[in-house]
Amino acid sequence: MNKQQILRNRPVGVPDEKTWELIETEIPEVGDGEMLIRNKFISMDPAMRGWINDARSYIPPVKLDDVMRAGAVGEVMESKNDKFKKGDFVFGMGGVQQYKLTDGKGFYKVDPSMAPLETYTGTIGMPGMTAYFGLLDVGELKEGDVVLVSGAAGAVGSVVGQIAKIKNCTVIGIAGGPQKCNYIKKELGFDHAIDYKNENVRRKIHEYCPDGIDVYFDNVGGDILDHALTALKKKARVVICGAISQYNSTDGMKGPSNYMSLLVNGAKMEGFVIFHFADRYSEALQALGRWVAEGKIKTEETVIEGIENFRDTFLKLFSGDKRGKLVLKV
């Protein structure tokens, strides 16, 4: 049987126990051109919160009564598709379920001898590529820049900071709690860390960036974005990658009020979605794979087991009760 998490209700605010239902269905038969994948690791991404809103976005919302959408790494169990064979390991939109039947579109092979399978949901996967293109292309990173990144101990932010260090930048990370701050400084090599739960963020940004910021990579939005805007250098770049502090808001998203700093400093603020860079994924994956192999980028995943624990695991993205990439083993 195939255990699946089905979207039953669209939540207002934080998803509750009525949002998803765990069901069991028959494992489907494989038709011509198709393959059956046994999902191993489900990628837990903040974007999943946006996908269950009934709102226009960069992809259509998950329909009610459909399997919850998610990226997943799995093993091909049976294949009638020329491009994949039994025993291949693949990444694609496998969904929050144990088995995925697909024609293979959007799936690509991953190599378990190069890295643990779960790493393909993180640093050598979508979050790593998001850091790569967001920082280097959208953020137009230059050697020696002063880079501030929020969500700094997370899947995207931890890679942003480490790429910026490879490029000889000064890196300041913002994260929740002393342990995460210690981790990004001691283990990931960031120059400074700001604990947004216990410190005055605006004061600390100005203390660590006395001449201002060249690149602010924003994963969280809200007040932290506003504080960062007060410290921009001339021609700074503000990269809008995400706004996790706002995703469960019940009274609309709070936008930045300090945006006139963009005018004063001739700075720019630009958003992006990783899918905009789809034709260059292999470039990013090669660079990230090389940096990981050379020990220049450290990877970390928090792995929780059991498809029945999907909602509790998902909520850890918002409580911050995890480090690095959050993954559900199914």
Ligand X SMILES: NC(=O)c1ccc[n+]([C@@H]2O[C@H](COP(=O)([O-])OP(=O)(O)OC[C@H]3O[C@@H](n4cnc5c(N)ncnc54)[C@H](OP(=O)(O)O)[C@@H]3O)[C@@H](O)[C@H]2O)c1
Q: How far, in Å, are 34, 81, 100, 170, 201 from residue 30 at the CA level?
A: 6, 10, 10, 52, 54
Give the nearer residue to ligand X in terms of CB position, either 87 or 252: 252
Output helix, strand, coil percentages for the chain, rounded to the nearest 5: 30, 25, 40
Q: Which stretch binds ligand X (CB under 6 A): 4-12, 31-39, 136-144, 318-326?
A: 318-326
Q: Is 127 in the site for ligand X (CB under 6 A)?
A: yes
Binds ligand X by CB under 6 A, chosen from 23, 137, 318, 329? 318
Give the nearer residue to ligand X in terms of CB position, either 244 or 269: 244
Binds ligand X by CB under 6 A, chosen from 156, 169, 215, 236? 156
Q: Which stretch binds ligand X (CB under 6 A): 83-91, 172-180, 201-209, 288-296?
A: 172-180
Q: What DSSP assignment string belongs to 134-166?
A: IIIIIS---TT-EEEEESTTBHHHHHHHHHHHH
Binds ligand X by CB under 6 A, chosen from 176, 226, 228, 231? 176
Give least dist CB 269 to ligand X, A.
Answer: 14
> In the chain, how long is the greatest CA-to-CA distance?
62
Instruction: For residue 105, count CB atoms less than 10 angstroms from its CB and return exposed for 0-12, middle for 13-18, buried for 19 or more.
Output: exposed
For 259-288, b/e burial (b = at least 16 CB within 10 A) is eebbeebebebeebebeebeeebeebbebb
Total residues in contact with ligand X, by rule CB under 6 A:
30
Q: Is 128 in the site for ligand X (CB under 6 A)?
A: no
Q: Is 273 in the site for ligand X (CB under 6 A)?
A: yes
* Nearest Cα to Cα of residue 124 among 9, 286, 257: 286
Give least dist CB 262 to ligand X, A.
Answer: 19
Give the nearer residue to ligand X in terms of CB position, either 92 or 176: 176
- β pairing state of 35-43 and 99-102: antiparallel
Q: Is 245 in the site for ligand X (CB under 6 A)?
A: yes
- β pairing state of 20-25 and 2-7: antiparallel
Give least dist CB 57 to ligand X, A.
Answer: 11
Asked whether 100 and 81 are in contact (CB, 8 A), the reply is: no
Give least dist CB 157 to ligand X, A.
Answer: 5
The two three-digit tokens of residue 286, written as one number: 């090669």
The two three-digit tokens of residue 227, written as one number: 């504080």
Q: Radius of gyration of the chain from Cα atoms?
A: 20
Residues 6+ apart with CB under 8 A from 317: 44, 45, 46, 49, 244, 326
Binds ligand X by CB under 6 A, chosen from 153, 188, 225, 328? 153
Q: Is 175 in the site for ligand X (CB under 6 A)?
A: yes
HSE toward the beta carbon, residue 34, CA cutoff 13 A: 11
Q: Is 151 in the site for ligand X (CB under 6 A)?
A: yes
Give least dist CB 144 to ligand X, A.
Answer: 25
Give least dist CB 132 to ligand X, A.
Answer: 11
Give least dist CB 267 to ligand X, A.
Answer: 19
Binds ligand X by CB under 6 A, chosen from 52, 155, 188, 225? 155
Give the nearer residue to ligand X in terms of CB position, either 113 or 250: 250
Binds ligand X by CB under 6 A, chosen from 92, 95, 242, 256? 242
Binds ligand X by CB under 6 A, chosen from 72, 209, 274, 285? 274
Report 22-61 residues binding ligand X (CB under 6 A).
45-47
* Nearest Cα to Cα of residue 244 among 6, 18, 87, 48: 48
List of residues contacting ligand X (CB under 6 A): 45-47, 127, 130, 151, 153-157, 175-176, 180, 196, 219-220, 241-245, 272-274, 317-318, 320, 322, 326
